[in-house]
Amino acid sequence: MNNAKSDIEPLIMVRQLTSEYGDQVILDKVSFDVHKGEILVILGGSGCGKTTLLRHMVGLNKTHKGSIHIEGHDICNGDDSIYQAALKKIGILFQNGALLGSMTVSENVALPIIENARLSKQALKRLVRMKLTMVGLGEYGHYLPSELSGGMRKRAALARALALNPEILFLDEPSAGLDPITSAEIDDLILMINRNIGTTMVIVTHELASIFALAKRVIMLDKSVKGIIADGEPHHLKQHSDNPLVRQFFNRESRNQAI
């Protein structure tokens, strides 16, 4: 499968992306590809621009320079219709879940479906139940988000992100704030969705256990470089990278140990 990737146009192409907040440059001329069916993890230290990059890729942040292509369409420099078409291909899991507290879990999952498809009430109900069952919450549709555990809220938010059968799923710290067992369960769920449905995934996380469990490939950002300092398979980078910062991250070393 890896040998065929070079012959196939990437699903996502990021080219010379520059991101600025005021006079401060956060990302400088960042370029990389994401291939269909891939799980790509974006990682790095605090303040390196991981979430900023993700927000650019889903169109929430304005791109100052460069381009982002989804299935060959430039969502940064094209007209709004191109961006709106791209939005229908993606799902987003925000770090805090972003569930609406006044709505039940089922109502939260139903929202994007109602906004984008015309279904009968019975068809909508069946589809929502199917999405919740997919993430192990089939019997919890009538619960409010506040009545769920942290892991269950993550699952509910994932069900909502999957509501429109997206080709690409963006996940920002999907296991943040969860205990190790629940984090592993979320990782298993992400892998199951990728393997069974083929959903392409771009994940921001700093959790080493999740990185090694999920990623066949990572890109590592660095705050001082304002860009990518490593691109590859995480176990290989851990053992063979010649960059001390990369070794430090993957081996949980202090700065003194890494030098």
Please state the separation of Cα 255 from the chain's center in Å. Answer: 28
The closest of 54, 28, 52 to 40, measured between CA atoms, is 54
Q: What pTM value is reported for the model? A: 0.89
CA distance 1 to 6: 10
pLDDT digits (tens, 9 = 90+) for 37-68: 999 999 998 889 999 999 999 988 888 899 99
The ranges assigned to domains in the chain are 1-89+207-259
The pLDDT value given to residue 255: 61
pLDDT digits (tens, 9 = 90+) for 99-121: 998 999 999 999 989 988 788 89
The closest of 93, 240, 72, 63 to 159, measured between CA atoms, is 93
pLDDT digits (tens, 9 = 90+) for 121-151: 999 999 999 999 999 999 999 999 999 999 9
* Percent of the chain residues topping a pLDDT of 90: 72
Q: How confident is the model at residue 193 (pLDDT cuts 50, 70, 90)?
A: very high
Task: Look up residue 163 and give its two tokens.
Answer: 């509501």
CA distance 180 to 218: 21
Please state the separation of Cα 176 from the chain's center in Å. Answer: 13
CA distance 102 to 108: 9
Do the Cβ atoms of 13 and 30 come closer than 8 Å?
no
The pLDDT value given to residue 3: 45
pLDDT digits (tens, 9 = 90+) for 205-219: 989 999 999 999 999
Q: Find the mean pLDDT for residues 229-246.
A: 94
**What kind of fold does domain 1-89+207-259 have according to CATH?**
Rossmann fold (3.40.50)
The pLDDT value given to residue 122: 92
CA distance 137 to 230: 37
- In terms of average pLDDT, the best of 77-86, 93-102, 240-249 is 240-249
